[in-house]
């Protein structure tokens, strides 16, 4: 399970990990699994969605969608501004900006929503799923 390969701690404690995400409260979430393929992590603490974002994208599953869009941006080199497009366009579609990626979203204690994304060298879609259960086998997370 992907959650067992994640660490939560301070920036100093997790400085040695390449794939990390900084939470709004100063903690860091890091991927402690394999780096056989490019890996990205994005994490957010579940909280009230800012009004401007809620009005534009809704609140249902917002933090899951946001962390998934962030991982697509990190893995594909798209600009942060592209998150707006990714939130409007389903990154899990399989033929869009998420093609060739595996995105696995898990929840950690403390209401932390984490998406782990991997990019496969051949660019082929590999089980783009909505949760660790959908995707972990195909992506070896």
**What is the number of domains present in the chain?**
1
Report whether 31 contacts 140 (CB < 8 A).
no
Collapse the DSSP code of 133 into the 3-class scheme (helix H, G, I; strand E, B; otherwise coil) and give the result: helix
Structural domain span for residue 70:
36-139
- Tell whether 70 is covered by a domain: yes
Strand order across the beta sheet in which 101-108 lies: 39-45, 112-119, 101-108
- pLDDT in the model for residue 61: 93
Q: What is the mean pLDDT of residues 51-71?
A: 93
The pLDDT mean for the chain works out to 80
- Tell whether 1 is covered by a domain: no
Q: How far is residue 63's CA from residue 42's CA, in Å, rounded to a whole number?
A: 10
> pLDDT, tens digit, for every residue of 77-119?
887 777 777 776 654 544 445 567 899 999 999 999 999 999 8
- Tell whether 3 is covered by a domain: no
- Tell whether 89 is covered by a domain: yes
The pTM (predicted TM-score) of the whole model is 0.78
């Amino acid at each position: 399970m992907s959650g067992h390969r994640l660490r939560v701690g301070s920036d100093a404690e997790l400085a040695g990990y390449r794939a990390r995400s900084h939470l709004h409260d100063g903690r860091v979430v890091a991927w402690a699994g394999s780096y056989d393929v490019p890996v990205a992590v994005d994490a957010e603490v579940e909280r009230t969605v800012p009004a401007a974002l809620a009005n534009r994208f809704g609140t249902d599953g917002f933090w899951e969608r946001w962390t998934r869009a962030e991982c697509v941006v990190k893995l594909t080199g798209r600009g942060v501004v592209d998150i707006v497009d990714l939130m409007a366009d389903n990154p899990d579609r399989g033929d869009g900006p998420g093609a060739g990626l595996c995105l696995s979203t898990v929840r950690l204690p403390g209401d932390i929503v984490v998406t782990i994304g991997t990019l496969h060298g051949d660019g082929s879609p590999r089980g783009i799923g909505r949760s660790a259960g959908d995707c972990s086998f195909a992506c070896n997370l």
